[in-house]
Chains A and B, each alone.
Chain A
Amino acid sequence: MLRLIPVLPFLGFLVNASFGRRISRRAAGAVASAVMLASLVVALVAAGNLVGLPNPGRALVEPAFSWISSGDFSVNATLRLDPLSAVMILVVTGIGSLIHIYSTAYMDKETDSEYARYFSYLNLFAAFMLVLVLGSNFLVMFVGWEGVGLCSYLLVGFWYQKESASDAGKKAFIVNRIGDFGFLLGVLLAYVRFSTLDFQDLARSASALSPETSFGTLSLITLLLFVGAAGKSAQIPLHVWLPDAMEGPTPVSALIHAATMVTAGVYLIGRNAVLFSHAPITLTIVAAIGVATALLAATIGLVQNDIKRVLAYSTVSQLGYMFLAMGVGAYAAGIFHLYTHAFFKALLFLGSGAVIHALGGEQDLRRMGGLRRELPIAYSTFLVGAMAIAGVPGLAGFFSKDEVLFQTYAGGHTLLWIVGLVTSLLTAIYMFRLVFLAFHGARGEEPGAAHHPSHLHDAPPAMALALIVLALGSIVAGYAGLPRALGGSNRFERFLEPSFIVSQETRRAAGLQGDLEEAETATASLEVGLMAVSTLVAAGGIGLAFFFFLRNPRAADDMVNRFAGLHRVLANKYYVDEIYDVTVVQPIRIVSEDGLWRGIDVRAIDGTVNMVGETVVGSSEILRRLQAGSVRVSAASLFLGVVLILGYYLWR
């Protein structure tokens, strides 16, 4: 049954890819949405079956086929559903279905064949994402890992018509090469060390060890895996590609670059929680990178003027929270935040999509304003999303973010907690800045606003449906993990715990906080206190945004003027792109193009060859004319190779 979950979207991909041009767009959209819904139903049934199993070690395992087997080594293409992957498949199929439905309306301006192509990529993406989360070993996961990356390129590039736009793809390429390198190396080392690639076996082998207090193999493996995770999940310093990926259609941003693919890195750490728990050094790095990313991205989000870019940096920032949770060993809290974030961030993206759709492609916040009257559905749902992410009590984001911050504090990481809290203040500010600039105030403060059509259409039914369902989700999703301190039983995390079984001794030895229950009962009052602080922070942030961006916009300009330098740094995203360009992109280009290709192949080999040639031939005049493509250079290179090799052996 499990294999149906990825296979159904894959069938949708096949249908749309092969017959897309021959069937009507209505049919193409319907097929794509239907397979996702069917996959959701299967996922629900599977999750239901899973819950029905006895608790410790509950899992559904379905070997698809024996993939590689040779001697003592074998890898099976096995799917495995445990609580962690159950949450992931529900998020992917659930949010995925909604986004497919939303897209049927959003993409209505495309030609028929483009429309079918879009849906075939979207289905393919979902299939790979489901393989990624259902795989029971690194190899199956890697299939999904690369597959979603490929689909991401294809979908981001969906609207590329100009040459300049391919730069965004290039950046994503380079960053993901670095990430993949880390990932593969980590997998390779894990195999060398443990002789298995199965997550269960790895966890079993690792739990027999004691945590590494100094930097050792486990730390290296996990660190490399984290490099992979950081590439996929846009963590510092590999975050540069995500904002550029916003060039793609908005539903794609919602699905791939907010709700699912970018969380794969978090999932990777959750999946290997045992390994990571045995490498406290890596965990510290994960937490530090996570919180730094959260803060940095939030500050950049403050000054962006493109509605989708604000949301993109917000995603990076929220992913930082998830990594923070992972880093302090609060795996369940991290996944909880992943799950609630999927709702409200998808909602925010789709809401911004409704705005962009209504304005005919306008994405600049400065040219928006006062949209709340014309787009009531988009406005009200967007507001719910903004409140959820800002941490307004009672909404999904409040519970999960608070859980992360609480676990951070309870684990004794006060500094991380403070940074996290500051970030949540910034989150409230930038999010409500967005709300106020787009939906409140007056329109037409900037040139270009006049081009808006006089009457704007609110979200069409398919889009409205998705928005409303997600808004409801953003309100209620958090109650699945209602903390004990508020009279709940933290059912969500309790459900997830078996996926992260880490023994008490390990936890203590690794400096992670102890048992969840123990922590909860001991510090219920602390948790309530922290919640109160967060609530105040959220309220303060919203208030500040209200003051600066609605009540008194000039104050905001004053601030910009007063801190012009800081503003410039933020507006330029800390110049990370420029730094990359100078330190990574140019050197690689120079090394490969000017260096190796023209240089080594042409210049250096030629040059060295020239020298040998002089001694051999005794004629510099001829050799100066040597150039690439010359037979004599090639021959000399061959001869030089022999001389070098012989020289090595004689000298040795």
Chain B
Amino acid sequence: MVPVGACLGLSAVLFGIGLIGFLSRRNIILMLVSVEIMLNAVNVSLAGFSRQLQDQRGQVLALFVIAVAAAEAAVGLGLVLALSRNRPGVNVEDLTQLKW
């Protein structure tokens, strides 16, 4: 049986990877992937807690997070598609029409 501490450790590492990835990536798609990693970190910790506490609610929340993450990914890709129809490229640094 995996101890809860390991779950939390994994979760923290994953979250850090997602966070750093989001802050350092310029590609919108990769930023989206980083967010997904962060959400999965949340899922891992929720599952770990749920197991430790013998309580189903954490898993329920994790399921919803998975569903929402899917929805977000769909919407996000749609937005990126609309964006790239107007101008090529998925570099987030190009999004500077709105500033100051």
Write the residues of chain A forming the contact surface with B, with a CB cutoff of 8 angstroms: 597-598, 602, 613, 616-617, 619, 622, 625, 627-632, 635-636, 639
1/0 per position for B89-100, CB-CB distance to A under 8 A? 000110111111
**Is B49 close to A, CB under 8 A?**
no
| Residue ID in chain B nearest A636 by CB atoms | B23
Among candidates A602, A625, A632, residue contacting B23 with C-beta atoms closer than 8 Å? A632
Chain B residues near A598 (CB-CB < 8 A): 100
With A598-B100, A602-B100 already in contact, the answer to whether A631 and B23 are too (CB < 8 A) is no
Q: How many residues on the B side are at the interface (Cβ–Cβ under 8 A)?
A: 15
With A616-B20, A617-B20, A639-B19 already in contact, the answer to whether A632 and B100 are too (CB < 8 A) is no
1/0 per position for B20-31, CB-CB distance to A under 8 A? 101110100001
The 10 closest A-B pairs by CB, nearest first: A629-B99, A617-B24, A629-B96, A628-B99, A631-B92, A628-B100, A629-B98, A616-B23, A616-B20, A636-B23
Within the complex, the shortest CB–CB distance from A632 to chain B, in Å, comes to 6
**16 A-B pairs, CB-CB below 8 angstroms?**
A598-B100, A613-B23, A622-B26, A627-B96, A627-B99, A628-B96, A628-B100, A629-B96, A629-B98, A630-B92, A630-B93, A630-B96, A631-B95, A632-B92, A635-B22, A639-B23
Chain A residues near B100 (CB-CB < 8 A): 597-598, 602, 628-629
CA distance in complex: A630, B97 (Å): 10
Within the complex, the shortest CB–CB distance from B89 to chain A, in Å, comes to 14
1/0 per position for B61-100, CB-CB distance to A under 8 A? 0000000000000000000000000000000110111111
User: Which B39-61 residues have C-beta < 8 A from chain A?
Assistant: none
CA distance in complex: A631, B96 (Å): 9
Chain A residues near B20 (CB-CB < 8 A): 616-617
Residue among A598, A630, A636 facing the most chain B CB atoms (10 A cut-off): A630
Within the complex, the shortest CB–CB distance from A616 to chain B, in Å, comes to 6
Within the complex, the shortest CB–CB distance from A541 to chain B, in Å, comes to 57
Residue among B22, B23, B31, B97 facing the most chain A CB atoms (10 A cut-off): B23
| Residue ID in chain A nearest B21 by CB atoms | A617
Among candidates A602, A629, A639, residue contacting B95 with C-beta atoms closer than 8 Å? A629
Within the complex, the shortest CB–CB distance from B35 to chain A, in Å, comes to 10
User: Which B1-30 residues have C-beta < 8 A from chain A?
Assistant: 19-20, 22-24, 26
Chain B residues near A631 (CB-CB < 8 A): 31, 92, 95
CA distance in complex: A613, B22 (Å): 11
| Residue ID in chain B nearest A618 by CB atoms | B24
Among candidates B24, B31, B92, residue contacting A619 with C-beta atoms closer than 8 Å? B24
Residue among B24, B92, B97 facing the most chain A CB atoms (10 A cut-off): B24
Chain A residues near B24 (CB-CB < 8 A): 613, 616-617, 619, 622
CA distance in complex: A631, B30 (Å): 13
Is there contact, CB below 8 Å, between B97 and A629?
A: yes
With A598-B100, A627-B99, A629-B97 already in contact, the answer to whether A617 and B23 are too (CB < 8 A) is yes
| Residue ID in chain B nearest A593 by CB atoms | B100
Chain A residues near B97 (CB-CB < 8 A): 629
Within the complex, the shortest CB–CB distance from A617 to chain B, in Å, comes to 4
Residue among A597, A598, A629 facing the most chain B CB atoms (10 A cut-off): A629
CA distance in complex: A622, B24 (Å): 9
Chain A residues near B22 (CB-CB < 8 A): 635
Within the complex, the shortest CB–CB distance from A615 to chain B, in Å, comes to 10
CA distance in complex: A639, B98 (Å): 21
Chain A residues near B98 (CB-CB < 8 A): 629
Within the complex, the shortest CB–CB distance from B64 to chain A, in Å, comes to 23
Residue among A597, A616, A619, A631 facing the most chain B CB atoms (10 A cut-off): A631
Within the complex, the shortest CB–CB distance from B81 to chain A, in Å, comes to 17
Chain A residues near B95 (CB-CB < 8 A): 629-631
CA distance in complex: A455, B15 (Å): 88
Chain A residues near B96 (CB-CB < 8 A): 627-630
Within the complex, the shortest CB–CB distance from A163 to chain B, in Å, comes to 22
Known: A629-B99, A630-B92, A639-B23. 19 other contacts (CB 8 A): A613-B23, A613-B24, A616-B20, A616-B24, A617-B24, A622-B26, A625-B93, A628-B96, A628-B99, A628-B100, A629-B97, A629-B98, A630-B96, A631-B31, A631-B95, A632-B23, A632-B93, A636-B23, A639-B19
